[in-house]
Amino acid sequence: MRVLSVIAMLGFAGLVVYATSALPLRGDPDAPAHRYLSPYYVERSASEVGTPNIVTAVLGDYRSYDTLGETAVIFTAGVALLMVLGRGRKRD
């Protein structure tokens, strides 16, 4: 069982490393994200959102669902820790 899980982990690690080779290079100006998405944000965020900070516009408006999920992740981690550490304690 242990051997199987190690083999499975190595297999997935190899898959991830193999998939990494298909990613665009860092800072590559021809990467899809830099050809379509970045110019869109730079050009339109000021008129569409109105915040001068493009990072905040992307984080808070264009990808608001993502930020909601991040907040939920932090909240869930905190609640899980509170439940584990608070278990068995008597509260008056």
The interface mask with another protein, positions 2-41, x = CB under 8 A, is: ----------------------------------------
CB atoms within 10 A of CB 51: 15
Eight-class DSSP state of 22: T
59 binds another protein (CB under 8 A): yes
CB of 83 to another protein, least distance (A): 10
Cβ(10)–Cβ(18) under 8 Å? no
CB atoms within 10 A of CB 58: 19
- Chain residues binding another protein by CB under 8 A are 48-53, 55-57, 59-61, 64-65, 67-68, 70-72, 74-75, 77-79, 81-82, 85-86, 89-92
